[in-house]
Structure 1
């Protein structure tokens, strides 16, 4: 079983959106998936309660480890509570404040695989595009700003359940992240 935490010291960086859509990528690739919403806001549970997701979301870590291929954790932002999970996907925005917060927190993470994920990049903005490209060249994963992410979650679904403009591009971004996890590339 692969355990993956979506965690960042910053709030509002898209942890829940990425966690649910990554779970969908794994599910549609044929893996058994469970999402644990350990964020007090319980946003992933709220989406699950729409009863349209093809996988389950539970409001806390299970007492008994489930028989799944991927156990995905949606964490609250908290610099003092770094997940004890082997792999951390750390969403961030392409901004200097996010970069400083992420770099400060990475120094405290030991013996874990950390993948920085620049999320919701608006490539029309020069400074944002340049920072995202620099981080991408240093190994960060890139997710562009696409309205399909917001539209699909508003309907209680993921981008993998949508056949609208932008869904294929979003699916490809998430499938590349899944491939990276499966291949063990950092």
Structure 2
């Protein structure tokens, strides 16, 4: 499966989810490739500060031909995770066309709900050419023990796309692990952050199946 984390609004946590979900897949026994399709190169920067090789292969492919170039590479992996660019562009469209599933991270705020319209439109346009693309929302950076996570889920349902039940809370561990080029599974495998990522990974796989 090719999974892309897409949102035209920056700062929603695409890179954080990409590397952590990729590692969760590796820990489940899968061989995983992570494609950094963001010209900012966030995943590549993450990998460069590590003191050891990442638990998955990382490549840069920030060009609008991903949908043509990736198929020849994906056969060597069980899953491919794409960290997509944060704006409407030919590059974003190409990443969507390459995908089997588009995961749209959304922070629990009205601004993020409104901004989601652009990426939903892009996915709908791509589905004309690739009918089997699946797309889901994932609530990210929820403030724990607040009702706003439930409220954003209700608000997102206006887009007629599934909203995953698994939600990722705003946790310092995500920033701390990213700063040293690691995932939450490497820094604190028994943490709530790791448990949330594991739940999200499981639900993504269930939706694909």
Shorter chain as denominator, the TM-score bin is 0.7 to 0.9
The 8 Å contact of residues 48 and 56 in structure 1, kept in 2 or not, is answered as no
Residues 1:144 and 2:176 aligned together: no
Return 73-82 or 84-93, whichever deviates more. Answer: 73-82
Residues 1:113 and 2:134 aligned together: yes
Q: Runs of 5+ in structure 2 lacking a partner? A: none
The 8 Å contact of residues 121 and 132 in structure 1, kept in 2 or not, is answered as no
Matches within 5 A, 1:47-126: 47-49=46-48, 50=50, 51-60=52-61, 64-66=72-74, 67-80=76-89, 81-82=92-93, 83-84=96-97, 85-109=99-123, 110=127, 111=131, 112-123=133-144
How far residue 131 of structure 1 moved from its aligned partner, in angstroms, is: 2.3
Q: Runs of 5+ in structure 1 lacking a partner? A: none
Structure 1 or 2: more strand by fraction: 1
How far residue 133 of structure 1 moved from its aligned partner, in angstroms, is: 5.4
Residues 1:161 and 2:181 aligned together: no
Return 36-45 or 176-185, whichever deviates more. Answer: 176-185
Question: Structure 1 residues 184, 169: closer, same or farther in 2, change over 3 A?
Answer: same
Q: Find the aligned partners of 1:7 and 1:70 in 2 and give their Cα distance.
A: 17
Residues 1:181 and 2:204 aligned together: yes
Equivalence for 1:4? 3
Q: Find the aligned partners of 1:183 and 1:129 in 2 and give their Cα distance.
A: 21
How far residue 129 of structure 1 moved from its aligned partner, in angstroms, is: 4.0
Residue deviations 1:83-120 (CA, integer Å, cap 9, x gap): 11120011111111110121343144233211111111
Q: Find the aligned partners of 2:134 and 2:19 in 1 and give their Cα distance.
A: 20
Q: Find the aligned partners of 1:155 and 1:182 in 2 and give their Cα distance.
A: 28
Q: Give the number of aligned pairs.
A: 182
Q: Post-superposition, which runs of at least 4 consecutive aligned residues in structure 1 deviate over 6 A?
A: none
Q: Find the aligned partners of 1:108 and 1:43 in 2 and give their Cα distance.
A: 23
Instruction: Give the RMSD, CA atoms, in angstroms.
Output: 2.4
How far residue 163 of structure 1 moved from its aligned partner, in angstroms, is: 2.5
Residue deviations 1:7-44 (CA, integer Å, cap 9, x gap): 10111100000000000100111100110001000010
> Could you state the TM-score of these two structures normalised by the residue count of structure 1?
0.86
The 8 Å contact of residues 132 and 142 in structure 1, kept in 2 or not, is answered as no
How far residue 171 of structure 1 moved from its aligned partner, in angstroms, is: 1.5
